């Protein structure tokens, strides 16, 4: 895939993570960007709530087999295509064959990491549809316990922390970090799970309006504190990396997540009525601060 096309797709479907990807050293950037775009394809399939759950599950399963190398890319169900209203997401779905070709061109060991992480993410998205496919407002479907929440955050985001770390050591070797891989992978998983917790906390009102609940409203403050602790691990993770670009790329999501948590604290119960959002100017200010961190 040409660089211009890659950048166009990334900008279209990512508000801030695009900035982290562009900061990455070139040896990491290709596989990391492709992994993100493939995960966004599956996210679009999973989150098109007006399409039937059965169609979304079928398309996700076929997409998962194709990415794993065990099948061909599916033709997207017409009910899904008709339900995608965002033109950028439609463009992404229409580019799936190009993304698949890009995956085939990656070095084999990089492609294996991409296939692994996207497969795990899709497993979490499928669970989401199976749990909440019939949910309606006023009668929310809830996760059973903390263990289900931990499992979900691992599948859709914790695994990304592991992927980022494995890819860094694979492509950059000792220039990625002087720390041993295993502890850094564990820290990356914790960081990724923290980022997903922030997303869940930010989107609680919208999720409840659709009849799904990842955590009890009464437990909101406890999970805000847990998320804050895990985002703190993200700052430590970034500090363990060897170059300024790597540190900036890795710490930027943590900085924006902490800004979001501050907004949630300030909004209090009002955050359950209106989704908080870090202003765009703060995103770019955080980018500058990320790059200037010692």
Residue 127 domain-assigned?
A: no
For 70-101, what is each residue's pLDDT tens digit? 989 999 999 999 999 999 999 999 999 999 99
Residue range 104-119, pLDDT digits in tens: 999 999 999 999 999 9
Sign of the torsion formed by the C-alpha atoms of 254, 87, 34 and 55:
positive
- Indicate the residue among 121, 148, 176 that finishes a domain: 121
Secondary structure of residue 294 in the 3-state scheme: coil
Q: Check: CB of residue 200 under 8 Å from CB of residue 220.
A: no
Q: Which of 121, 150, 175 is the last residue of a domain?
A: 121
Give the residue from 44, 21, 16, 18 showing the smallest Cα distance to 32: 21
In this structure, the answer to whether residues 58 and 183 fall within a common structural domain is: no
Mean pLDDT of 168-184: 97
Domain count for the chain, please give it: 2
Q: How far apart are CA 110 and CA 151, in angstroms?
A: 25
State whether 162 and 282 are in the same domain.
yes
Same domain, 92 and 160: no
Global pTM value: 0.94
Are 105 and 160 part of one and the same domain? no
Q: Which domain holds residue 59?
A: 1-121
Pair (187, 259) in one structural domain? yes
Q: 36 and 19 in contact (C-beta within 8 Å)?
A: no
Same structural domain for residues 40 and 159? no
Q: Domain ends where: 88, 121, 154? A: 121
- Nearest Cα neighbor of 294 from 238, 234, 253, 233 is 238
pLDDT tens-digit map of 198-251: 999 999 989 988 899 999 888 999 999 999 999 999 999 999 999 999 999 999
Q: What percent of the chain stands above pLDDT 70? A: 98
Same-domain pairing of 29 and 106: yes
Q: Are 19 and 287 a contacting pair, CB within 8 Å?
A: yes
């Amino acid at each position: 895939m040409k660089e211009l096309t890659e950048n166009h797709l990334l900008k279209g479907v990512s508000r801030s993570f695009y900035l982290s990807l562009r900061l990455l050293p070139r040896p990491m950037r290709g596989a990391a960007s492709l992994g993100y775009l493939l995960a966004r394809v599956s996210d679009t399939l999973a989150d098109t709530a007006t399409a039937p759950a059965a169609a979304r599950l079928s398309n996700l399963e076929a997409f998962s087999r194709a990415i794993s190398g065990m099948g061909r890319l599916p033709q997207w169900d017409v009910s899904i295509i008709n339900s995608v209203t965002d033109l950028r997401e439609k463009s992404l779905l229409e580019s799936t064959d190009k993304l698949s070709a890009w995956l085939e061109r990656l070095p084999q060991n990089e492609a294996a990491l991409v296939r692994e992480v996207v497969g795990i993410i899709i497993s979490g998205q499928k669970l989401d549809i199976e749990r909440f496919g019939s949910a309606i407002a006023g009668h929310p479907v809830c996760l059973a316990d903390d263990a289900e929440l931990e499992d979900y955050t691992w599948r859709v985001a914790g695994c990304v922390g592991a992927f980022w770390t494995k890819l860094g050591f694979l492509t950059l070797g000792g220039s990625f970090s002087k720390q041993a891989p295993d502890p850094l992978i564990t820290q990356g998983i914790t960081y990724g799970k923290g980022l997903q917790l922030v997303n869940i906390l930010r989107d609680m009102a919208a999720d409840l309006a659709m009849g799904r609940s990842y955590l009890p409203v009464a437990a909101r403050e406890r999970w805000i504190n847990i998320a804050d602790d895990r985002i703190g691990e993200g700052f430590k993770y970034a500090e363990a990396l060897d170059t300024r670009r790597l540190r900036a790329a890795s710490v930027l999501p943590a900085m924006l997540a902490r800004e979001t948590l501050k907004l949630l604290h300030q909004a209090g119960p009002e955050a359950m009525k209106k989704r908080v959002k870090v202003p765009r100017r703060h995103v770019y200010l955080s980018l500058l601060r990320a790059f200037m961190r010692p």
